[in-house]
């Protein structure tokens, strides 16, 4: 065995130590001196230096999906199997390549742990450390509060109720690997992603409304609400115009058509500006959240806003979120909305005179328009959620349940993937549909689609750049049968020791043949990233195998384990593990959360 020592650091990253810490194999194989004709397992290490950018071909990776199934009461449904699901890619059914049922308690990742059963001959069970706890995936939750379109004061108090429910939710939200950030439509009272529950609770309590337009519109007379402005100025609805003229208001209030239309157009321009600013704020949070390593969820709590004529901007956010792997869940802060009848509302200028029997035309119109108005102000939230594979929680007064359903991972999810065989690398969007063979009253939540990669020149495809791309990405690849386990040592001198063990099933790898040997080269890259996604430690190891058939048969039964160790300051990190084999160029990769506190 040959192992390099005291390697220099890599200038493109921070000052990292890059030697392979240890390799756990049979002592009979890793002897200090190998006689002529014996098997050869050579272990080396080298600086990890990223090369040119590389766009991974779609044929070499799986499209990974996490699917939640809920019953009519919103509860996650356990016990389903691969045969219960069908995946359609642009209407074409795809075979499910991998499948597992994951629970929130187990962290949502099923990884084979290194144990006595996996240890090679000659290694005691205690020499192969197993993970103390299931590996928890990093989860970034952005709580987005719409403090601009909120309805407060006499007209509602939506933001106050939302704050109360959010503070109760935070008590249950901080599970291992979870970081929460607070963001607002106004850009005020924000908090970056943190694991400190007290900071999050304080930030929620500090939220205040920054309402930019009254529900009554720009002027009290005539009363052109945002909804009426939309109907008159955007939809050119003559019935709404007529109702404004008929409404019981002060005698001195102008009722001319030109005056009403002009005020409606001014109001609609202002409403559209506010709605556009709201969408821009959402887009900024999606962009920031999309850079975080792990599961990314944006939970938007809003009383709703009119997004009519801004469909293109909404589609842009959906595309942006799908590209970044961000799911948008929306909570209607109005809850189960009940509005006073016209004439009894706080903003009405004159009470309704109901004497005379039959309600006036405007009363009937206002009552019928309520449903249309709620649909229009909720449409943007519903579209953003549906377009990103999220959930829209509405028509329900239990905001506590809403936050828990939208902010916590389902108790049971199903992780599955398929190979997009035949997909052209043209950057196009592919719609996905996950169906249950026997759906009953169940609902399915899954990503709505994926983007094929952009076509790249073959000259840019090099083994090193392919590895670089996988290290810097956040997706999951399963091209190599590799399991991951971790062990955290006791604190020493303010540092924690993290040992990362990769177990490799070589029986499922392709080998080349050279003379009487089966040859293969395995590269391991382990990187640790902080909460902002910055790489703070990285190591690369390489294993060269040249095995006789009898040794290969032995290791095919037991597998081999590679171990790399890090000395790290206490904290929560994301661990990115990439394994590559040289014969066919297959990769495995995963991102997991590590708690070193």
Q: Is the pLDDT of residue 234 over 70?
A: yes
Q: For residues 477 and 51, which has the higher predicted lDDT (pLDDT)?
A: 477
Q: Is the pLDDT of residue 579 over 80?
A: yes
pLDDT at 348: 52
Q: For residues 89 and 460, which has the higher predicted lDDT (pLDDT)?
A: 89
Q: Is the pLDDT of residue 525 over 70?
A: yes
Residue 476 within a domain = yes
Residue 395 within a domain = yes
Domain identity same for 337 and 257: yes
Residue 129 within a domain = no
Domain identity same for 177 and 91: no
Domain identity same for 263 and 376: yes
Q: Which of 527, 551, 558, 528 has the alpha carbon at shortest distance from 540?
A: 527
pLDDT at 205: 95
Q: How many other β-carbons are positioned within 10 Å of the β-carbon of residue 590?
A: 21
Helix (H, G, I), strand (E, B) or coil at 44: strand
Average pLDDT over residues 525-529: 87
Of the three residues 407, 425, 440, the one that is the final residue of a domain is 407
Q: Is the pLDDT of residue 23 over 60?
A: no
Q: Is the pLDDT of residue 108 over 50?
A: no
Average pLDDT over residues 144-157: 74
Domain identity same for 394 and 421: no
Indicate the pLDDT class of residue 365, thresholds 50, 70 and 90.
low
Average pLDDT over residues 175-182: 89
Q: Is the pLDDT of residue 276 over 50?
A: yes
Q: What percent of the chain has pLDDT over 90?
A: 31
* Cα dihedral: 272, 273, 278, 281 (round 10): 140
Q: For residues 491 and 360, which has the higher predicted lDDT (pLDDT)?
A: 491
Average pLDDT over residues 191-207: 94
**Structural tokens at position 254:** 């102008």
Q: For residues 138 and 13, which has the higher predicted lDDT (pLDDT)?
A: 138
Lowest mean pLDDT among 142-151, 455-464, 543-552: 455-464
pLDDT at 87: 95
Average pLDDT over residues 341-345: 51
Residue 118 within a domain = no
Q: Is the pLDDT of residue 275 over 70?
A: yes
pLDDT at 463: 58
DSSP state of 231: I
Residue 40 within a domain = yes
Per-residue pLDDT tens digits for 585-597: 888 888 888 888 7
Domain identity same for 281 and 340: yes
Number of domains in the chain: 3
- As a whole number of angstroms, the distance between CA 142 and CA 94 comes to 33
Choose from 229-238, 274-283, 392-401 the range with maximum mean pLDDT.
Answer: 274-283
Q: Is the pLDDT of residue 502 over 70?
A: yes
Contact 206/189 with Cβ under 8 angstroms? Answer: yes
Cis peptide leading into residue 222 (ω within 30°): yes
Average pLDDT over residues 91-99: 92
Domain identity same for 388 and 247: yes
Contact 112/481 with Cβ under 8 angstroms? Answer: no
Domain identity same for 174 and 319: yes
Residue 399 within a domain = yes
Domain identity same for 401 and 487: no
Q: Is the pLDDT of residue 127 over 90?
A: no
Contact 120/561 with Cβ under 8 angstroms? Answer: yes
Q: How many other β-carbons are positioned within 10 Å of the β-carbon of residue 263?
A: 23
Q: Is the pLDDT of residue 302 over 90?
A: yes
CATH at residue 473: 2.60.40.10
- As a whole number of angstroms, the distance between CA 181 and CA 190 comes to 8
pLDDT at 299: 97
CATH at residue 148: 3.40.50.410
- As a whole number of angstroms, the distance between CA 443 and CA 462 comes to 43
Residue 133 within a domain = no
pLDDT at 98: 87
Of the three residues 451, 473, 506, the one that is the final residue of a domain is 451
**Structural domain of 76:** 63-104+416-451
Q: For residues 433 and 52, which has the higher predicted lDDT (pLDDT)?
A: 433
pLDDT at 138: 79
Q: Is the pLDDT of residue 486 over 60?
A: yes
Cα 424 to its chain centre, rounded Å, is 25
Q: Is the pLDDT of residue 350 over 60?
A: no
Helix (H, G, I), strand (E, B) or coil at 144: strand
- Average pLDDT taken over every residue of the chain: 77
Indicate the pLDDT class of residue 40, thresholds 50, 70 and 90.
low
Average pLDDT over residues 567-580: 87
Strands (E), 46-91: 63-70, 85-89
Q: Is the pLDDT of residue 260 over 70?
A: yes
Q: How many other β-carbons are positioned within 10 Å of the β-carbon of residue 564?
A: 23
Domain identity same for 305 and 399: yes
Domain identity same for 373 and 514: no
Choose from 25-29, 127-131, 554-558 the range with maximum mean pLDDT.
Answer: 554-558
Q: Kindly list the strands in the beta sheet with 496-504, ordered across the sheet, starting from the edge strand earlier in the chain.
A: 22-24, 560-568, 496-504, 482-488
Residue 341 within a domain = yes
pLDDT at 152: 55
pLDDT at 46: 46
pLDDT at 3: 32
**Structural tokens at position 121:** 């001959």
Q: Which of 593, 539, 577 has the alpha carbon at shortest distance from 133?
A: 593
Average pLDDT over residues 412-433: 88
Domain identity same for 74 and 26: no
Helix (H, G, I), strand (E, B) or coil at 565: strand
pLDDT at 119: 32
Which residues have CB under 8 Å from 532's CB, separation 6+? Answer: none
Handedness of CA 317, 319, 322, 324 (dihedral sign): negative
Domain identity same for 438 and 485: no
Indicate the pLDDT class of residue 179, thresholds 50, 70 and 90.
very high
**Structural tokens at position 363:** 């009363």
Indicate the pLDDT class of residue 36, thresholds 50, 70 and 90.
very low
pLDDT at 59: 36
pLDDT at 222: 86
């Amino acid at each position: 065995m040959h192992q390099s020592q005291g390697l220099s650091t890599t200038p493109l990253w921070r000052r990292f130590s890059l030697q392979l810490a240890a390799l756990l194999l049979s002592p009979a194989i890793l002897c200090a001196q190998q006689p002529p004709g014996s098997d050869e397992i050579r272990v080396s290490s080298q600086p990890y230096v990223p090369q040119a950018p590389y766009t991974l071909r779609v044929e070499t990776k799986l499209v990974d999906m996490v699917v939640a199934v809920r019953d009519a009461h919103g509860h996650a449904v356990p016990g389903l199997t691969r045969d219960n699901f069908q995946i359609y890619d642009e209407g074409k059914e795809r075979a499910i390549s991998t499948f597992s049922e994951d629970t929130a308690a187990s962290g949502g990742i099923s990884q084979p742990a290194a144990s006595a059963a996996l240890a090679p001959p000659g290694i005691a069970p205690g020499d192969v450390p197993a993970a103390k706890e299931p590996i928890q995936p990093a989860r970034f939750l952005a709580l987005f509060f719409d403090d601009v379109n909120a309805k407060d004061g006499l007209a509602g108090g939506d933001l106050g109720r939302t704050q109360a429910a959010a503070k109760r939710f935070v008590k249950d939200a901080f599970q291992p690997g979870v970081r929460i950030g607070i963001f607002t439509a106004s850009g005020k009272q924000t908090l970056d992603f943190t694991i400190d529950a007290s900071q999050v609770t304080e930030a929620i309590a500090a939220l205040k409304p920054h309402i930019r337009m009254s529900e009554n519109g720009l002027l009290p007379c005539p009363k052109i609400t945002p909804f009426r402005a939309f109907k008159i100025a955007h939809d050119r609805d003559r019935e709404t115009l007529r109702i404004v003229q008929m409404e019981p208001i002060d005698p001195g209030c102008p009722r001319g058509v030109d005056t009403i239309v002009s005020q409606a157009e001014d109001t609609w321009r202002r409403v559209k500006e506010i709605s556009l600013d709201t969408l821009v704020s959402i887009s900024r949070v999606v962009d920031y959240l999309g850079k975080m390593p792990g599961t990314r969820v944006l939970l938007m709590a809003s009383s709703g806003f009119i997004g009519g004529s801004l469909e293109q901007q909404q589609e842009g956010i959906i595309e942006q979120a799908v590209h970044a792997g961000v799911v948008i869940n929306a909570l209607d802060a109005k809850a189960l909305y009940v509005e006073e009848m016209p004439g009894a509302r706080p903003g009405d200028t004159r009470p309704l005179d109901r004497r005379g029997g039959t309600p006036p035309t405007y009363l009937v119109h206002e009552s019928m328009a309520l449903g249309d108005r709620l649909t229009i102000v909720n449409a943007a939230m519903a579209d953003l959620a549906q377009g990103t594979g999220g959930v829209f929680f509405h028509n329900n007064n239990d905001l506590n349940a809403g936050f828990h359903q939208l902010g916590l991972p389902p108790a049971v999810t199903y992780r599955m993937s398929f190979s997009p065989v035949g997909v052209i690398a043209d950057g196009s969007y592919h719609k996905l549909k996950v169906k249950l063979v026997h759906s009953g009253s169940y609902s399915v939540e899954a990503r709505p689609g994926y983007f094929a990669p952009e076509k790249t020149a073959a000259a840019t495809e090099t083994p090193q750049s392919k590895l670089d791309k996988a290290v810097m990405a956040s997706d999951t690849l399963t091209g190599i049968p590799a399991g991951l386990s971790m062990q955290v040592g006791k604190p020493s001198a303010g540092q924690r020791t993290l040992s990362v063990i990769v177990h490799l099933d070589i029986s499922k790898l392709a080998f080349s043949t050279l003379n009487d040997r089966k040859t293969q080269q395995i590269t391991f890259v382990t990187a640790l990233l902080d909460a902002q996604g910055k790489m703070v430690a990285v190591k690369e190891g390489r294993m060269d195998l040249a095995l006789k058939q009898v040794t290969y048969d032995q290791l095919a039964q037991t597998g081999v384990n590679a171990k790399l160790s890090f000395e790290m300051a206490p904290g929560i990190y994301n661990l990115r593990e990439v394994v590559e084999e040289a014969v066919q160029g297959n990769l495995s990769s995963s991102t997991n959360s590590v708690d070193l506190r």
